[in-house]
Chain A
Amino acid sequence: GAGVSQTPSNKVTEKGKYVELRCDPISGHTALYWYRQSLGQGPEFLIYFQGTGAADDSGLPNDRFFAVRPEGSVSTLKIQRTERGDSAVYLCASSKQGKSNQPQHFGDGTRLSIL
């Protein structure tokens, strides 16, 4: 398919564990965004990549959260020492160049549950 792909679709783990969430953006899209969506809420911005670099990471809640995009395509969101409050759907979106006239295309998210 040509859309944004996120894996896994569901992840259940215990408190304190480390998790990695993967995002495959649409081919050719240089801008990539991570969001977190809690039940009954809209997506909340976490971090934005333009190419390989994190252009804006102001939404990351604390230093347990980190994301990389080493080759400017696939991105991985990493969460250390997970807490129950980290449970949410983590969404990834991509756009052609990260400009306002180019809409964001979302994946279906990873539902993370911390027991």
Chain B
Amino acid sequence: GENVEQHPSTLSVQEGDSAVIKCTYSDSASNYFPWYKQELGKGPQLIIDIRSNVGEKKDQRIAVTLNKTAKHFSLHITETQPEDSAVYFCAASQSGGSYIPTFGRGTSLIVHP
């Protein structure tokens, strides 16, 4: 089955700095890669996703890049704000079938004001 590794487990930055979270996956058949933000006591919320036919996607301060050859993808947050502090999860899945994503173990992002 799919295996998703996520790094770092904790990331501490100053407000205004950029933050980068990296994930690798093992199954070359995976073609859909969502990113979720989870605040304390809440469920994960989708913030951005990318499909394997695209190398990069951007939405305001967040962007995701995908390298299919190397089987890794990254989340980039620019101009971080204290409200960006949360746990971020990457995931990988395949279209078709039951679309069950495999999640990484999460990155706790702390943005210091």
Binding site for B on A (CB under 8 A): 4, 31, 33, 40-45, 48, 50, 55-56, 59, 91, 93, 95, 98-101, 103-109
Query: Are B32 and A100 within 8 A (Cβ)?
Result: yes
In the bound complex, CA of A108 to CA of B95 (Å) = 26
B32 CB, min distance to chain A CBs, angstroms: 4
> Are B31 and A100 closer than 8 Å at their CB atoms?
yes
- Give A90 to B93 CA distance when docked, in angstroms: 20
Q: Interface size for chain B: under 10, 10 to 19, 20 to 34, or 35 or more residues?
A: 20 to 34
Which A residues are CB-close (under 8 A) to B113? none
Distance between Cα atoms of A9 and B103 in the complex (Å): 23
**Chain B interface (Cβ < 8 Å from any Cβ of A):** 4, 6, 31-32, 34, 36, 41-46, 49, 51, 89, 91, 93-96, 98-106
Chain B min CB distance to A112 (Å): 14
Q: How far is the CA of A42 from the CA of B44 in the complex (A)?
A: 10
B94 neighbours in A (Cβ, 8 Å)? 100
B105-A91 in contact (CB<8A): no
Q: Do B43 and A109 touch (CB < 8 A)?
A: yes
Q: Is the CB of B99 within 8 A of A99?
A: yes
Bound state CA distance, A59 and B45, in angstroms? Answer: 22
Closest to A9 in B: B41
Which residues of chain A come closer than 8 Å to B91, judged between CB atoms? Answer: 42
Complex-state Cα separation, A100 to B96, whole angstroms: 7
Q: Separation in Å of the A104 CB from the closest CB of chain B?
A: 7
Cα-based distance from A21 to B41 in the complex (angstroms): 17
Whether A42 touches B43, Cβ cut-off 8 Å, given contacts A48-B98, A100-B31, A100-B96, is no
Of A42, A45, A103, which one neighbours B100 at CB under 8 angstroms?
Answer: A45
Cα distance, A93 to B101, chains bound together (Å): 12
* With known contacts A56-B98, A98-B99, A100-B99, A106–B43 Cβ distance under 8 A: yes
